[in-house]
A and B are shown apart, each in its own frame.
Chain A
Amino acid sequence: GAVVSQHPSWVICKSGTSVKIECRSLDFQATTMFWYRQFPKQSLMLMATSNEGSKATYEQGVEKDKFLINHASLTLSTLTVTSAHPEDSSFYICSARAQGPRNQPQHFGDGTRLSIL
């Protein structure tokens, strides 16, 4: 149980294009989903928190117009990297927390490796 699917797992695109990453909770409903970014040999850095049906909350230093997050249903959140540039190349990981007590663990997807040429 508690499976989170992330798609695509790997994407390469040209500078200036926008890229959408999907995060789905397959066997549970997720009130809250989270988006992280991880650079090589570094830890995960929280980018934003999204709650179903409301606007995402971004961490300090994360541009909300650059990283658009939509959490339209209890099983799907999307992250769109707009006008991507080489410095946006990174490993993007989502997680989801099931409905219920806030102490429930987050369950993570397998990440999306984004390379901008």
Chain B
Amino acid sequence: DAKTTQPPSMDCAEGRAANLPCNHSTISGNEYVYWYRQIHSQGPQYIIHGLKNNETNEMASLIITEDRKSSTLILPHATLRDTAVYYCIRGGGATDSWGKFQFGAGTQVVVTP
């Protein structure tokens, strides 16, 4: 049970912002939201994570709704190299002492010229 819901696919134009939604309506109060991406035949790459505040790093921004039931990953200027499967994962809460992840199906993002 991945416990998050994402659209199966999304197309994005090169140079435009890509907004990737994720629903995690049953998230518990101390669970974090993590985003990873996987380019074909490679291991997942960490992008960003957050608890309740919006976060930004050199790769992306993470916007978490006030009720924490959903979030959006923003890639500000998509490039062809951003084509990948993006995974939204919840975890790291107090009930899980090891920080296990359960991956869902993710969103296949295709960036086109």
Given known contacts A43-B104, A103-B99, A111 and B46 CB-to-CB distance under 8 angstroms: no
Additional A-B contacts beyond A43-B2, A44-B38 (10; CB < 8 A): A43-B105, A44-B44, A45-B103, A46-B100, A51-B98, A93-B44, A104-B92, A105-B34, A107-B46, A111-B43
The 4 closest A-B pairs by CB, nearest first: A108-B43, A103-B92, A44-B103, A102-B99
- How many A residues touch B, CB cutoff 8 Å? 29
Q: Are A43 and B106 in contact (CB-based, < 8 A)?
A: yes
| Secondary structure call for the B interface | loop
Give the interface of A toward B (CB within 8 A). Answer: 2, 4, 6, 32, 34, 36, 43-46, 49, 51, 57, 91, 93, 95, 97, 101-111, 113
CB-based contact B98/A102 at 8 Å: yes
